[in-house]
Amino acid sequence: MKERISITLDSQLVGQLDGMVDGKEIKNRSHAIELLLSKALKLDVPRKAVLLAGGKGTRLRPLTYEIPKGLIPVQGKTLTEHLFDLFKRYGITNIVLSIGHMGDKIKQHFGNGEKFGVQITYAEETQPLGTAGPLRLCKRLLQESFIVSNGDELKDINIPEMYKFHKQNNALATIALTTVSDPSAYGVARLSGNRILEFVEKPAVEKAPSKLINSGFYILEPAVLELIPEGFAMLETAVFPKLAKQGKLFGYPFSGQWFDTGTLERYERAIKEWRGISKNGD
C-alpha cells in the first residue's frame, strides 16, 4: 500500500532527481525518491542471509578430512569470508550460519562474527539435513524475505536488482541463474519467460533446454518454509518442484562471476580466476 505525501526540496536536488528519471527503470520523481529512500534505509535488499556450510565436502578430500568446507581458503580468505564480502557490500550483516560436519571448527574461527563485520547466529545440525532441512531449524528467525546461499560457491550478484526482480514477479522463490558453456554436469533451467518450469538434471549438451543453471543463491519468502518436510530435505527436489507447479518459482539470470568449488579441479580454477567482489555488483 502506498500513501501520498508532499515534500519541499531545494531546486538543485529536484534537478538531480529529474536527471535520474529515464521513463523505464525510474519512471518519475516519486519513484526516484522511493528508490533513494529504500537504499538509504536498506529496504532494497533482504536483511538476513542463511549460509549453508554443513556439508562434508567429500569431493574435496583429502582437504576436507581436516578442514571443514567453509574454511577452505581461496586467495587468502575462506570461502565463507568471500560470501560475507558479498553480503556486506549491500549492507547485509545479519547472517545465519548452518553448520554440521566439523561445525565446532567453524564456530571457533568465526565466533559471533564481530571480527568479520557481521553478526552470526548458528543453526547446528545434529545429523545431515540437506539444503532445505536446516531452514526449519531457524524458522523463527526468518519472518520476512531472506537469502539462502550454498557455502561452497563464489558468486558476485547484484542483490538489490535480484530482490527488485523477486518482488516485481510476486515470487515465493527466486533462483539466481548463471550461464555455463557445458551444462551437462548441472541442473539446467527450463523457463517460460522468467518463470522456471523445471530443472533438467545433467542433460546431454544438445538436449539441454538452456545454458542457465542453478547458482546456489536464492531469495525466499517465509511461506516456503511450510513446504519443507521434517528431517533431511533438499530445496532442489522437495521444494522447488512444488513452487514451479504453483507458478511461484522464478529465475534471475546474472552475468557476474560464479565459481563452483565442489571438486578439486573446480577449486583450483577458482583460486586462479576469482577476482573478488566487484564494486558495482553484477
Return the active site residues.
202
> Read out DSSP for 42-84?
T-SS-SEEEEEE----GGGTTGGGTS-GGG-EETTEEHHHHHH
Query: CA triplet 212, 214, 220: central angle to 5 degrees?
Result: 125
> Cell 531469495, residue?
219
Q: What is the CA radius of gyration of the chain?
A: 20
d(CA 209, CA 228): 27
d(CA 54, CA 62): 17
Residue 226 sits at φ, ψ, to 5 deg, of -70, -15
**Peptide bond before residue 62 is cis, with ω within 30 degrees of 0:** yes
